[in-house]
Amino acid sequence: MNLGRRERVRAATIMEITETARRLLVKDGPDAVSLRAIAREMGMTAPALYRYFPSHGDLLRHVVGALFNDLTDGLVDALAEVPDHNMYAKFDAACRAFRGWAHAHAKEYALLFATPVPGVGQAEQVDFAAECGRRFGMTFLNLFRDLWEKHPFPVPADDQIPAEVRDQLADYRERIQADLPLGCLLVFLQCWVRLHGAVSLEVFGHLDFALTDIEPFFELGVVEIAARLGLCPDPFADPPDG
């Protein structure tokens, strides 16, 4: 779609505001991302920014959305480099890309996964940040669905899942409109919790008490998660970079 001059200028300004907010976040933390500080960095007045973002919360949610898109684009690029038939390599690439982004953007990662913006991530939210967050989540879920369809792995039957968990999984499945067994969604969440927990503990320095080189420990965890999904590394494949 071709944008008119006014729309192009507005889009460019929103991008500049977002990039300025991200620089302030990285430099001084989330408390430094204020409309006044951004206006000062851009040579604008704070009231002028209200034409683009009506509140500080709206601005932060837009930054969160942009960060989710940046992270998701990295995952998509990493997955695209792996042949479709090699599901272990795809799973490994996604895990590595997630960890790599977290290390390269630790403060942005903290905003997304440690100190979320109020309202972001709630099921009823339909704003930019929530949509970008769902795009990130669906990248992993679509990989998981692809794996399930190509190489189904053992999952608990519905009657083996505690009722309190089963009902929540059913609600989750309806919200995301996923044609997957409840047991499959349970395994997906369990794998995600383990991956996310491992990366977060590492990035926030909570494994330093025991480990000085965490990468081999992380790789061991990826192999164990993959094994739960019936995936085994190809002994003839080239070792991954990074």
**Residue-level pLDDT at 57:** 84
Residue 227 zone, left/alpha/beta (φ > 0; ψ -120 to 50; rest): alpha
**107-213-201 Cα angle (round to 5):** 40
- Considering the domain architecture, whether residues 143 and 24 belong to the same structural domain is answered as no
**Residue-level pLDDT at 7:** 85
- Considering the domain architecture, whether residues 126 and 216 belong to the same structural domain is answered as yes
- Considering the domain architecture, whether residues 24 and 48 belong to the same structural domain is answered as yes
Of residues 115 and 69, the one with the higher pLDDT is 69
**Separation of alpha carbons 54 and 87, rounded Å:** 45
Which segments of 161-241 does DSSP mark as H helices, in order?
Answer: 163-176, 182-203, 215-228
Residue 236 lies in a domain: no
Q: Is the pLDDT of residue 240 over 60?
A: no
- Considering the domain architecture, whether residues 222 and 110 belong to the same structural domain is answered as yes
Q: Is the pLDDT of residue 139 over 90?
A: yes
130-134, 164-168, 233-237, range with the lowest pLDDT? 233-237
- Considering the domain architecture, whether residues 28 and 92 belong to the same structural domain is answered as no
pLDDT in tens, 163-217: 999 999 999 999 999 999 999 999 999 999 999 999 999 999 999 999 999 999 9
**Separation of alpha carbons 29 and 229, rounded Å:** 38
Name the band, by pLDDT with cuts 50, 70 and 90, for residue 242: very low
In this prediction, residues 96-111 reach a mean pLDDT of 95
Q: Is the pLDDT of residue 14 over 80?
A: yes
- Considering the domain architecture, whether residues 214 and 175 belong to the same structural domain is answered as yes
* CATH code, 8: 1.10.10.60
Six-digit token pair at 205?
């320095």
